[in-house]
Chain A
């Protein structure tokens, strides 16, 4: 390492001039919520891995939008000549195009949920938490600030990616004579609900990362909850699991976005409450444990 720049402590090098013993009661501004939020945003944007995950989400969302536009077009074409396909198309309400921009949502929730886990677990695995909570010893403001940064980023990124995916999909669908109106109320609803849903998943990820304090463990729990449990619940026979399946957080998106009620899912209001509980309960638990556990 370079030692040529070693600063020798001298009267001018230890910091701003200050009278040594006379220290006033108020040394200067402390960690207000706004300052902590600013700090968490700096932390968020100065990690390359975070930026890569955000970019990956956008690419996947837009890519899947384009792919799905093409697939939907092919399907609609086939429906023109095949009565069976036409029947299937009619069963979908005839409006397949409107869901095209959000086709990549499963991947967005996986990536951004994992990001939520990582941003919290890495605090503990790297020791950064000691710096974070020495600066904000009340701890909860730092957690809430990070949560705000994560959820708002997840929401905005999903919304923008969905919109861009829509822009890419429109001309492709047009080739097959399908119309997608990004300004329609259903399009806007899908964009908002999906973005809010992904923000909720990212929040659940943050709670898991805080509880588990370990990146692999946190991501495994997230994947278990969103990808393994729905399949496992379907495979296990019994009415209980059919019923319980509806209450998994990943199964609340369908009722929340459907035009009409889909069988074997919750009502819209129920789905909203269930998803809310999946966010609030783990977060509350994480907050309490964060406050009382040693860093």
Chain B
């Protein structure tokens, strides 16, 4: 049974003439980690807003088709009920900070406090979440006097701490340092293993290939392609439609022309796949190894 179910979803913002999402069909299973890729303007953020209920409840506009999450229908459910199931990290982390709190710790505790979670449990959960995103040392700092990447971590942490059934992340690592990005992908993978459903808009295909279960490629509001990362991320359709690919994929594609990538192999999307494939064509000959 799908926990997220979109059927023939078409959406227009109040002032747009052409649909920003058209005829989207998407089913996501509980505990699945789905990455949404696509060029700028493809509709990734709008899809995130729809899953989070901001479309149509906040943005208004025309939403056609069916959006169902955890068995609840979006159009007939008010936003304050909807958000109990779904947490959204905005593309711009600054939009996320409440403005009501003086420290990072209090900022992250804010949502739990509103839910009336007992203080002991609240402190424990906030502490745990701060550790997961690597910002325990920022707990006493003001949420405003942070670097861009630190702010983004705070925004993400404030959603993770709520442990929503469905986690919707709009480019959550865009300002994070490289190893931090990989770690955050790892944390999100773990959350999915524990049953949280994750839908993430992202450009960073190397880590999508490594961590996501499925990739949805969006272009001009339509789903161009979806499937397991190894298939979608190596599809020639992506290259032809202005999507980025990992350097492993593009190097192997080029290497094919010189017989430096084994013809029978799938193009690589991860470092390990690239190592394995290139070793087949470029492994030192017995002579070179000194045998």
Q: Do A and B come from one complex?
A: no
